[in-house]
Amino acid sequence: MNRRRFIASLGGAALGLSRAALGQQARKPNIIFILADDLGYGDLGCYGQKQIKTPCLDKMATEGIRFTDAYAGSTVCAPSRCALMTGFHMGHALIRGNARVPLRPEDTTVATLLKRAGYATGIIGKWGLGEAGSTGIPTKQGFDYWFGYLNQHHAHNYYPTFLWRNEEKVPLRNVVPKEDAQGGGMASERHEYSHDLFAQEALAFVEKHKDKPFFLYLALTIPHANNEAGREGMEVPSDEPYTKEDWPQPQRSMAAMVTRMDRDLGRLFGHLKKLGIDDDTIIFFSSDNGPHREGGNNPDFFDSNGPLRGIKRDLYEGGIRVPMIVRWPGKAKAGPMSDLPWAFWDFLPTACDIAGVEAPRGLDGISVLPAILGKEQKGHEHLYWEFHEGGFKQAVRLGNWKAVRLGTQRPIELYDLSADLGEKSNVADPHPDVVAKVAEILKAARTDSKEWPIREGPRPKAKGKQ
């Protein structure tokens, strides 16, 4: 019998201890980070969505904190995930774009730090930070258990012929007649939907580790498109409950994907309660970047970026501002909304703070645990992004100011988010002092990278959109 159950068997009331106190004495909090893929700021009901049903995540928002000014690490997949895992923004991160650059042995991930602190660590879903045989695979970056796609291009296909479990391929019954070297393509026989496998794996991981602290990084692929499938790229087993809607088929499928994800997250939340560890678990939910216009999807149909300008691959708010819900029963106050600006690189120090371990020095991130607990929070002086597709671009959030520069020879655009959330009015001319400060930040916030040099022209593209 473990210590927690032994104490509980003595009778908490007789000892004058609450259940929460028993849990605190017996274990560190479980940490779950759920990451959707290309889900827009406006795709959830709790962020203003009117047509796509997301009751479980909407309930999570009422039971936790809904952050309105949270940001992804980047505007595309791999660099956003690198920021989440390593605590560095795009000026210092190893991976600053979609290319097959693996994490190195000397890189420290949040999983590595939590594993050292006694956590069981697992990732299920999509990785994108190291190919098979490289130093960047999850099992060499702090994760005890791994199941899913290593390669982002492979992850386009919801009906793949294989997935990875730790360092071994797991064959699936799907048939992909024109499968490419990375595992991408479009299945002709569809038997096993990868998202459904991820949902089952998440339940099994939680079940297995219910008696000790765990960190689960659930990196789902919904609602990313299968770009190789053209207008049929919003792959889902059924478009229910939207079958009878008079919408284009890609939009019915898009909505069905999001609602399916919501349903399965509801199952996960219910499982935590069934196991009696809900109060011991802090859950984060977010998306890796803004909504996409791929696979037949039209982000305008559901107003997926809400009031924001831009989508995936833009450094305007619609490309990088994302939903962020945090729920921790008994610790985080239920129902409030926070406009604290923070970003993915803050997750690593926040997770360390939750686990009671020291974060490495020199990170770009800060712990936002005080904000989660309703306490006074020290914020960032500024947030910084850069992006290398189609030429070098940069963005800065400085208080309520948002600046974007689409190339080193282009002028700095400036927007006042407090009055112009949609970034419609460039107010650089009447605010030369702010522009000058932004220009200093754009120079100082980055270090040179051999993988990501400043280019005025387009960078050679990775194979396939990711």
CB 39 within 8 A of CB 287: yes
Query: What integer pLDDT is reported at residue 7 of this predicted model?
Result: 34
> In angstroms, how far apart are the furthest CA atoms of the chain?
71
- For residues 177-194, give the mean pLDDT: 96
Q: Please write the tens of the pLDDT for every residue from 89-115.
A: 999 999 999 999 999 999 999 999 999
pLDDT for the residue numbered 456: 77
Q: For position 196, what pLDDT does the model report?
A: 98
Task: Report which of residues 13 and 56 the model is more confident about.
Answer: 56
Task: Judge contact between 139 and 146, C-beta under 8 A.
Answer: yes
pLDDT at 436 over 80: yes
CA–CA dist 241, 261 (Å, integer):
13
- H helix intervals, 87-230: 110-116, 194-208
Residue 465 is predicted with a pLDDT of 52
pLDDT for the residue 455: 86
How large is the C-alpha radius of gyration of the chain?
A: 22
Which range has the worst mean pLDDT, 7-21, 43-57, 163-177, 358-372? 7-21
Specify which residues 165 forms β-bridges with.
147, 168
Nearest-angstrom CA–CA distance, 158 and 40: 20
Using CA atoms, how far residue 425 sits from 195, 339, 416, 436, 439, in Å, is 41, 22, 8, 18, 19
Quick: pLDDT tens for 57-100: 999 999 999 999 999 999 999 999 999 999 999 999 999 999 99
Q: Mean of the pLDDT values across residues 221-243?
A: 97
Q: Per-domain residue ranges for the chain?
A: 28-381, 385-444
Q: Is the pLDDT of residue 14 over 50?
A: no
**Residues 185-200, mean pLDDT to the nearest whole number:** 98
User: How many angstroms separate the CA atoms of 232 and 253, rounded?
Assistant: 9
User: What pLDDT score does 81 carry?
Assistant: 98
Angle at 411 between CA 406 and CA 416, to 5 degrees: 85
Instruction: Give the full edge-to-edge strand order of the sheet including 401-405.
Output: 383-387, 393-398, 401-405, 413-416
Tokens in use for 265?
């997250």
Averaged pLDDT, 371-389: 97
Give pLDDT tens digits for 285-333.
999 999 999 999 999 999 999 999 999 999 999 999 999 999 999 999 9
At residue 399, the pLDDT reads 98
Partners of 39 in beta bridges: none
204 Cβ contact partners less than 8 Å away, ≥ 6 residues apart: none
Token pair recorded at residue 32 = 């779950």
Are 256 and 238 in contact by the 8 Å Cβ rule? The answer is: yes
Give the three-class secondary structure for 414.
strand
Of all residues in the chain, what percent carry a pLDDT higher than 90?
Answer: 91
Cα 462 to chain centroid, rounded: 21
CATH number of 28-381: 3.40.720.10
CATH number given to 385-444: 3.30.1120.10
Higher-pLDDT residue of 153, 2: 153
Query: Which is nearest to 394 in space by CA: 409, 410, 411, 406?
Result: 406
Beta strands in 184-309 (DSSP E): 214-219, 281-287
Quick one: pLDDT at residue 6? 35
Bridge-based pairing state of the strands 214-219 and 168-171:
unpaired
Q: Among 108, 154, 104, which Cα is nearest to 129's? A: 104
Average pLDDT over residues 112-135: 98
CA 63 to chain centre: 20
pLDDT, tens only, 131-145: 999 999 999 999 999
Evaluate whether 142 touches 114 at the Cβ level (below 8 Å): yes
Pair 311, 61: CB distance under 8 Å: no
**Rounded to an integer, what distance in angstroms lies between the CA atom of residue 107 and that of residue 85?**
10
Measured CA angle at 291 (ends 217, 216), to 5 deg:
5
pLDDT on residue 290: 98
Residue 21 has what pLDDT? 42
Residues 15-51 have pLDDT tens digits of: 333 334 444 445 899 999 999 999 999 999 999 999 9
- Whether the pLDDT of residue 218 is over 70: the answer is yes
Beta strands, E only, 85-210: 120-126, 145-149, 162-165, 168-171
Integer angstrom CA distances of residue 354 from 39, 237, 258, 458: 26, 38, 29, 41
- Checking if the pLDDT of 12 tops 90, the result is no
CA 152, CA 160: separation in Å to the nearest integer?
Answer: 12
